[in-house]
Amino acid sequence: MREMQLHLETLSKQHETFQSFITTQLSTIITTTHPSSSSSSPTPSPFKPPKIHLPPFDGSNPLDWIFQADQYFDLAQISPTQRMQFLPFFMKGDAL
């Protein structure tokens, strides 16, 4: 029983650390990314990404999920600014 409690405390601390990390990263991205002031529309990419599924983030396996999300957004050629707009749709539960 004590071992399970220690494991739960460790997971809780990891979750808090990850949430803090995500908050910091999101703040950094928001403050360092400036939307284009150009009035012209961006040229659409000729590459249409394959239909792949990014599982929602529920707070477990944060490093794995971040890796998958980076790969997904890179493949889809989604800019960091746009990623910020998409992220809430890929989160659920305590991760929100």
**pLDDT bucket at 7, cuts 50 / 70 / 90:** confident
Give the pLDDT of residue 64.
Answer: 92
Do residues 80 and 29 lie in contact, with contact meaning Cβ atoms separated by under 8 Å? yes
Handedness of CA 89, 91, 93, 94 (dihedral sign): negative
What are the tens digits of pLDDT across the range 8-23? 888 888 887 887 788 7
pTM here is 0.46
Q: Provide the 8-state DSSP code for 91.
A: B
Q: Which residues contact 21 (CB under 8 A, 6 or more apart)?
A: 62
Report CA torsion sign: 50, 71, 40, 88: positive
Which amino acid is it at 13?
K
Q: State the DSSP H helix or E strand holding residue 6, giving kind and residue range, or none if neither.
A: helix 2-32
